[in-house]
Amino acid sequence: MDKMFRVMGFWTGIFAVMFYLGDMKTTSLLFFGQTGFFVLLSYLKLSERMYIYVFGAYLTVFFVGFTYWTTFMMIPGQTLGH
């Protein structure tokens, strides 16, 4: 299970670099933070059950944040830079 968190760290790192190259600095910092979180967590040698609990908590925080952002922060029909 710890290897899967390293894989997630790898992919979030790839996304962070791509966001940085695409001049999306804030998003790249968010993904670099996730990369550090996943890689650090992978070396803690937790039980498989604990890894599942941590991943479930991560998904819960993500979905709550994403739902909040799309509901209250985004303006329908607004495009930036187009």
Q: How many Cα atoms are found within 13 Å in the side-chain-facing hemisphere of 78?
A: 6
**4-58 pLDDT per residue, tens:** 999 999 999 999 999 999 999 999 999 999 999 999 999 999 999 999 999 999 9
> How many whole angstroms separate alpha carbon 62 and alpha carbon 79?
23
Report which of 53, 8, 49, 15 is spatially closest to residue 32, judged by C-alpha positions.
15
Task: Check residue 12 and give its pLDDT.
Answer: 96
Task: Check residue 74 and give its pLDDT.
Answer: 82
